[in-house]
DNA sequence: GTTAAAACCTATTGACATAGTAGGTAAAAG
DNA sequence: CTTTTACCTACTATGTCAATAGGTTTTAAC
């Protein structure tokens, strides 16, 4: 299940993409537009900064900006930045030890197929694909 | 993320399908073959019985059996029986109140598309699709 | 009818994640 | 030098996950 961290962060990224023309976007404005507590957004935004997806500038006239062109972001990398690797099943996690039953497990191929499906879905979606819905 | 409940339950169902020829299958045997604690399996199996996916018979010579033909089960209904509705995103949950931002939310269509993708994937997979892998 | 094998039932627990809140400090522009 | 903004540390309530523990009931076989 995609958590609020990932969902809200995606909305922040979209908000930044939409409001970039006037320079840095203050978090206060994002919080108001998105109707999300500014305090909570601070946490999410910190993770995005750490992951070099956005950058912040302090002081009056400060705020946040995207680091790259909007069309270069995909949804998968944003979600993974917030929630960690997009693992759908514990067996397939990077940290997981190789399961001793892997060779004879009837369900493993299913999980692999599912994992690929989800991964591809989110990595093929660009940030701008979501933006495009408004301007038809 | 698919939890052990769903994953183990699916293995139980496959085990039952594979070992049905000798009458009811005791949980003890399933626990040994699948290398899962019998005590934990009891919980999972109870949910499967409640959902009328399998039935149990007590006493000597007892055990569990599938309620229907193996090919009539799909993976989605098994997982949902164990983990509740296959919701990928809180916004779309049945219990969730209609979001006041639904009309102008740029991310909602994405979540809907994702939710459909996951749902269709699991509901199209039959139990026998997983079994087929062995007997080639 | 007694025994043994099986299902069935209730309760509890430790660990972790989620979704926040609270209360500050540092930087920078005017 | 004041205001606006980002940035930082800590805490907390709630819930879920993945089990474990310790029983009772049913039923076939002897």
Strand partners, A25: A64
Residue B124 reports pLDDT greater than 60: yes
What's the whole-number mean pLDDT along residues A10-29?
96
pTM listed for this prediction: 0.93
Cβ distance B106 to A131 less than 8 Å, yes or no, reads yes
Q: Give the Cα separation of B92 and A95 in Å (integer).
A: 31
Provide the mean pLDDT of chain A: 94
Helix (H, G, I), strand (E, B) or coil at B125: coil
> What is the CB-side half-sphere exposure of residue A27 using CA atoms within 13 A?
21
Q: Give the Cα separation of B102 and A44 in Å (integer).
A: 22
pLDDT tens-place string over residues A80-134: 999 999 999 999 988 777 889 999 999 999 999 999 999 999 999 999 999 977 6
pLDDT tens-place string over residues A38-93: 999 999 999 999 999 999 999 999 999 999 999 999 999 999 999 999 999 999 98
Cβ distance B2 to A89 less than 8 Å, yes or no, reads yes
How many C-beta atoms surround the C-beta of residue A53 within 10 A?
Answer: 22
Q: Give strand D nucleotides closer than 7 A to any protein Cβ.
A: 3-10, 16-22, 25-29
Secondary structure (DSSP) of B34-86: HT--HHHHHHHHHHHHHTTSEEEE-STT-EEEESS-GGG-BHHHHHHHHHSS-
Of A1, A105, A118, the CB nearest to B87: A1
Cβ distance A1 to B106 less than 8 Å, yes or no, reads no
Q: Does domain A4-131 have CATH number 1.10.10.10?
A: yes
Residue ranges per structural domain of chain B? 4-85+126-131
Cβ A79 vs Cβ A122: under 8 Å: yes
Helix (H, G, I), strand (E, B) or coil at B98: coil
pLDDT tens-place string over residues B41-90: 999 999 999 999 999 999 999 999 999 999 999 999 999 999 999 999 99
Q: What is the residue whose two structure tokens read 């404005």?
A: A29
Report the pLDDT value the prediction gives residue A134, as an integer from 0 to 100. Answer: 61
Matching CATH number, B4-85+126-131, of 3.40.50.300, 1.10.10.10, 1.10.1740.10, 2.60.120.260: 1.10.10.10
Of B1, B105, B125, the CB nearest to A88: B1
Report the pLDDT value the prediction gives residue B97, as an integer from 0 to 100. Answer: 78
pLDDT band at B94 (very low <50, low <70, confident <90, very high): confident
């Amino acid at each position: 299940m995609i958590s609020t961290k990932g969902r809200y962060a995606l909305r922040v990224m979209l908000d930044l993409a939409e409001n970039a023309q006037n320079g840095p976007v203050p978090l206060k404005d994002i919080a108001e537009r998105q109707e999300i507590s500014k305090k909570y957004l601070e946490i999410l935004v910190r993770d995005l900064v750490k992951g070099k997806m956005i950058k912040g500038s302090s002081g009056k006239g400060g705020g946040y900006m995207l680091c790259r062109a909007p069309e270069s972001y995909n949804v998968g990398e944003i979600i993974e930045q917030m929630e960690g690797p997009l693992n759908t099943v514990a067996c397939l996690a990077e940290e997981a030890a190789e399961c001793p039953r892997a060779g004879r497990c009837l369900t493993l191929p299913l999980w692999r197929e599912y994992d690929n499906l989800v991964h591809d879905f989110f990595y093929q979606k660009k940030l701008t694909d979501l933006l495009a819905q408004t301007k038809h």
